[in-house]
Structure 1
Amino acid sequence: MEWFREHAWETWLGLSIVLGVAELFSLDLVLIMLAAGALVGMIAAVLDLHVAIQILAASAASVAALAMVRPSVVKRFHSGPELSLGHGKLIGRQGVVTEEISGLAAGRIKLAGEFWTAEPYDDTTSIAPGETVEVLEIRGATAVVHPVARLES
């Protein structure tokens, strides 16, 4: 027992390394948080604090890491890139009106190199050819669009 008192910081460092290596096999991000707590215990041992304080510091750091750091890291690792497939990838893109669009008659736009039938989002809006529009929704084979405001110079 005397050896542990004389080599407290080495013991904490060894525990931290063992927990870190064990994390490589579990990949749950729990053991790495405990390893971080062991590093805090090692710092407390280097400062020559009492063993009870070292254990409390290591425990507090481990619990804090598990409660505050782990959830955000797990969320980041488990969420992948957002994929837009099919017509969904056209929403938010801009196109150019080729035939007048109004609430009474659908027009046409050129969007992503293709021609689409388009209707205005607001039925009272009329959009002239040459105007730039933004796609808000795709309904079947029809794009629902809204004109993009222009800056006058």
Structure 2
Amino acid sequence: MSALLWLAAAIVLAVAEMFGGELVLLMLAGGAFAAAGVDFVWEPPLWVDGLVFAAVSVLLLVAVRPIAKRHMLNRPAVLMNTEALEGQPAVVTETVDGDDGRVKIGGDIWSARSVDPAAVLEPGTHVTVVEIDGATAVVWRA
């Protein structure tokens, strides 16, 4: 019977972790799952269940939680919006000079200007986006 109580406690702790996100309650849920498993298999006295719960919970908190937190915080950077366009190839659709022009980047037409103010890039020229300045792509001949 106490195995079901440990299982219920583990489920409640795991669900509560969804609202906190600090991984403490999840580690306690792991301890409760371990206690439920021990109680289901061997049916020891209640103090043994408590000892298993405490030992597994502390082990998870000390050994697993720091590693899990590190992995949660060190996600690879995902470039979004205009940051993702830097370094992308483009094709000149209207003559680009140091002031104005148009390029096609990944199917979208952008206003553009050349990095080199003296350069004039004719339509059909393949260029690389160096940066996005407002709504203008700054390009360089590829």
1:137 equivalenced with 2:131 (yes/no): yes
1:117 match: 112
- 1:88-103 equivalence runs, <5 A: 88=82, 91-92=85-86, 93-97=88-92, 98-99=94-95, 101=97
**Whole-Å separation in 2 of the counterparts to 1:90 and 1:31:** 37
The 3 A distance-change label for structure 1 pair 25 and 58 is closer
SS in structure 1 of the partner of residue 101 of structure 2: strand
Q: Write the deviation string for residues 53-76 of structure 1: whole angstroms up to 9, x where unpaired.
A: 734234313443433335645x59
2:15 match: 24
TM-score, normalization by structure 2: 0.56
TM-score, normalization by structure 1: 0.53
User: Does the Cα contact within 8 Å between 2:110 and 2:136 map onto a contact in 1?
Assistant: no
Deviation at 1:94, TM superposition (A): 3.6
Deviation at 1:39, TM superposition (A): 1.9
1:3 match: none
**Whole-Å separation in 2 of the counterparts to 1:11 and 1:58:** 18
2:68 match: 69
Q: Which runs of 5+ in 2 are unaligned?
A: none
User: What's the RMSD between the two structures over aligned residues?
Assistant: 4.1
1:11 match: 2
Q: Which runs of 5+ in 1 are unaligned?
A: 1-9, 149-153
Kindly, what percent of the aligned residue pairs are identical?
22
Deviation at 1:11, TM superposition (A): 3.3
**Whole-Å separation in 1 of the counterparts to 2:121 and 2:5:** 71
